[in-house]
Structure 1
């Protein structure tokens, strides 16, 4: 059974009935339920298609935050081999909200940096729900510096509600760490690719997402602040989060139209959590094609990146 979102109730009801009928069949009940199961399965697929064909921005926020959605570690396990993680910022300590290191991607060396939210209570606490502290961003800078030194492309996987806002993080220079990480992304001489796999929240995301190519999953979101935060600031009313999500243009479709991102990775019907292997493979194919394109190019990747972000300011 899936963890159903509020707007998926019609699908949940149908799939619940399907499960009950399958249990009857497994228990050897004399009634033939095969035709009924097939009929309900078709109704369920049609209902799911109808729901996901007309998702509102707020519903996309809920899908992007779905607890069963594949996370950074799932992508690393599914796409990379010989992954060697690096730990610590050589200054204060280790932050497990950032998972990063070096690996091989389809035989070629790459640096991988991603934000990990965790998949159960223990791992969510260990990874701080993907909210990165200053030492996490400094670890990311360390990995980028090494990648640049050895001419290795950088791939980042973005999935965070935002950088950690705690007092300790502020005392250790959170704003400075985010700024230096963003600067390190812009300064890379090697090509970089960023994929927003869930939430791309505020500077916490931009710190590792300032890449030559930025891709988003179909139901991911990317924004300067969370809808709840925007509603609280603009209207002093967090119940208006739905309005904020709509007005902020945070969906992949809106951002592609505004040329903030470069392409959208299609998700399986019902979201990435329904078929993680499919969306991970599709992400890998797009990354592979982009790296191949970069390898055949004589472009100045740092200058290309600079022009990309200056053009956003001019166009908007």
Structure 2
């Protein structure tokens, strides 16, 4: 471990997940497999939705961007993690570290807001089906999407600017496998209590507003479903939001555990496991959740394959 007396360290060292060579090799193979599935799954989801006109609806418009965000923030974290696992050089430049942090918070914050927009879309579809085309117009969908990206942009800008103004002289060793907020704050020369409180309030406000929106949407959805008399009608209504609800539960469960718990209960091992889940595993799970549980996506996949097959035969 090296100490620094200057205000800006030239680079950081990412300690990673383990010091065991055998475990590093096993994790690199596992993470590479997960990343390949993530890329194929999310790109496949985007291509299917774009190529099949029957999926030209608000729900799949949002799902396209969810796949883009998952692919993006997985690509911000996973390749560098793989490089650190496979090589002895685990350094990352000062600029590279803060770029990784900025992009990660940008896409993660955008996903939080986008999941809220998707919950609102499901609320309108189930609770106001006759007015759905009017309420969820293309203009409203684009506005909700733009708002999601704007919240992610503001969140990431605020976080990075708050941390980058600090001085670092205690060490350049980050006790994590990527440049995350609290492990970087731990390297500052000064007391970061105030900074942590401000970041906590800002981050929790964004997350709680999103949770309130989703909770209100799903309470209304549940109330509407319970009023449906036929069992088949209830199942059909619930199936339209089951995939989204599952994805939200997994994403919020791990991020809340990592970022919204008291710092006194911080545990490096547990936090790293949770971080692996929401940075590497969840981007792989989302396209599987939304495709395997969705007949429309599976039918669209076969239609696209049939069209492509017919095109190839003509050629």
Structures share fold, TM-score greater than 0.5: no
Higher strand share: 1
TM-score normalised by structure 1 residue count = 0.28
Higher helix share: 2
